[in-house]
Structure 1
Amino acid sequence: MKTYHAEVTRDGKFWLIRVPEIGRSTQALRYKDVATMASELIEIMEDLRGDEYDLHLKVRLPDSVTDHQARAEVLREEAQRKQAEAAAEHRAAVQELLALGVSQREAGEVLGMSFQRVSQLAKSS
């Protein structure tokens, strides 16, 4: 089964779709229509049905957009690490209060947490 590659870029208000294997291009107004337009181009130009080939889309975004996406991913990973650290600190605070003989209900009131959250943290230690 032959594979076709659709190279997709933004060109003004359209998505430009180039299929190098057939040396042809088309366009779509909305991204959701890109795969359909690429498929129709291939099927018309190569006289194929949809089940006779594979289509792979390669979207090329401006460098500034990919830079923002990469930075967002770094920040998301950092936020996950920080969230795990915060949970560990909450757990430590709960454990220390419980070790001092404070009830789970009182620990929740003092720490500004629900009794259920204190109970969860106490069990996760």
Structure 2
Amino acid sequence: MVEKNLSKDLIREKIDKHCNEPIRLFTDDYTIYFGLEGHSKVKEHHIIKHSEKEYADGENHVNNCENRHSLLRQYLRIFRGVSKKKLNTYVKFFQFTFNKGVNWFGNAIQLILNNCTNTGR
């Protein structure tokens, strides 16, 4: 989902909502992540300091998220501009196709057929 206003409070809300157990957190040094080691569900917080030209620390890195972002940007580029109003839909479709892999179309058809069957259509 595309968030309109990133903030420390939003990050804490996401952790509360999506994490049932204590987590190990890996972030870059963006200021909204500062202080998360004090969150009750964060048992470890590893920070990669991009501002100091650090991109990995042993096995710790945050490249997966940045990788997805770079792929999303390439995907959106083919549309030559996307309205902010529709951006979330484009991102959700990208997420679906990325997560389902090369057989994303077959998975989409199966979801549609299951939905039609379950609703009695």
Tell me the TM-score range normalised by the shorter chain: under 0.3
When normalised by structure 2's length, the TM-score is 0.24
Q: Which structure has the greater CA radius of gyration?
A: 1
Task: Report the TM-score, using the length of structure 1 for normalisation.
Answer: 0.23
